[in-house]
Amino acid sequence: MDNIAHASSAEVEKVIQQRNQRLATRQKINNRIADDGSLLGSTSDISHLLLHELSIFVNKLSQANSLAEMRASTESLKNAIGAIEGKVASGEVELPYQIKGQTAALDEALTRAHGVSNLLK
């Protein structure tokens, strides 16, 4: 709700409650799991790992001449992240986007990306 000035009192109260809940959740994460710098560091580490592994995969795949070579091109990526699928499937690990919902998580990411892009123009 971007233009809260024209909203009804009930709508304003709902927005305030949602924002307060989000702040409370973020504070719990900060206190119990990791501070913002640690979360950013983990995100950076994973982004770099995936970028590196994807680069290895793409380069090997682009040179593959057979199905066996295509399968072999996945080994490094599989070794790096393959176990995650089983951990999620068994419930050992739950990912935040699963709680939010995939559509909501993607919408949030795209909205943020678009907003940052607009600021960079």
Q: Name every residue whose Cβ is closer than 8 Å to that of residue 102 and which is 6 or more positions away in sequence.
A: none
pLDDT for res 52? 95
If you compute the radius of gyration of the chain from its CA atoms, what whole number of angstroms results? 20
Q: What pLDDT sits at residue 1?
A: 46
Q: What six digits make up the tokens of 2?
A: 């971007």
10-residue averages of pLDDT along the chain (121 residues): 70 90 89 89 94 96 96 95 96 95 94 93 93
Closest CA to 60 of 73, 45, 76: 73
pTM: 0.70
